[in-house]
Amino acid sequence: MNFFAIIGRFTLNALAALGRLTLFAGQALGHLARPPFFIRNISQQILTIGYFSLPVVGLTALFTGAALAQQIYVGSARFNAESTMAAVVVIAIVRELGPVLGGLMVAGRVSSAMAAEIGTMRVTEQIDALVTLSTDPYKYLVVPRLIAGVITLPFLVAVANIIGVFGGFLVATQRLGFNAGNYLSVTMNFLEATDIVSSLVKAAVFGFIIALMGSYHGYHSSGGAQGVGRATTDAVVSAFILILLANLIITIMVFGS
């Protein structure tokens, strides 16, 4: 009976956490549709999430594209199919690796910062001060982050896709002896509009998840510095898991047939 009690307790706690997250997301979306909007906060979050994340996203995409090209070449050489390398690299990066790795890198950098910032405001009662000053915390803290996340992640992922394909191009032409013109021609012929659209849709969803997780765990943190640290960890872990889950769902919906 103790075993079943543990399972039941875990299930109830999970459902309660899911309910709190759903209510938080619903309230945030409700405030998202109504003015006023704090344009300065939105601009600041766009700069923080987008511009300052470019170096880490770009380097990750470059190294991943280069390593992917090398691995695909070695694997395809076993079947005398080296000519397919360019097509596989561009499809793998644009459909999966660009959005997922870009989302994970931004989640690790941004979700933790959001949770720490909002969590510190919660435990130091700054959020209560906002309410006292007749400023809605959702409008001032959560909505700008959600808007910035949804806007900036597609641009970051687009840059990551370009840099990742360029990394594969560099390895193919400088190390593996591929002709640059032929490589680019194959890349353009196999890249379809559906691949690009699905990549950008994934990026927008990932941006919403990153901002939502950082804001949610920071907003509901408690227990002083230890609680803020716990909220930071929970924000990153939950963002990672939801990004991978959302990637699977979107992939099945778009390419399942």
Cα separation, 171 vs 66, in Å, equals 6
Rounded percentage of the chain residues whose pLDDT exceeds 70: 99
**Contacts for 70 with CB less than 8 Å, ≥ 6 apart:** 171, 175, 176
Global pTM reads: 0.88
Q: What is the pLDDT, as a whole number, of residue 201?
A: 93
Q: Which of 4-13, 20-29, 184-193, 230-239 has the highest mean pLDDT?
A: 230-239
Provide the pLDDT for residue 26: 85
> Is the pLDDT assigned to residue 157 strictly greater than 90?
yes
Helix (H) / strand (E) containing 84: none
Question: pLDDT of 63-114, one tens digit each?
Answer: 999 999 888 888 877 777 777 788 888 999 998 899 999 999 999 889 988 9
The type of residue at 53 is S
pLDDT band at 257 (very low <50, low <70, confident <90, very high): low
Per-residue pLDDT at 158? 93
Q: Which residues of 197-229 are buried (b: 16+ CB within 10 A; e: fewer)?
A: ebbbbbbbbbbbbbbbbbbbbbbbbeeeeebbb
pLDDT of residue 162: 93
Answer for the pair 88, 138: CB distance below 8 angstroms, yes or no.
no
CA distance 90 to 77: 18
Tell me what pLDDT residue 240 has.
Answer: 93
The pLDDT tens digits of the residues spanning 167-208 come to: 989 988 888 888 888 888 888 888 888 889 999 999 999 999
Task: Confirm if 93 and 69 have CB atoms less than 8 A apart.
Answer: no
pLDDT of residue 14: 83
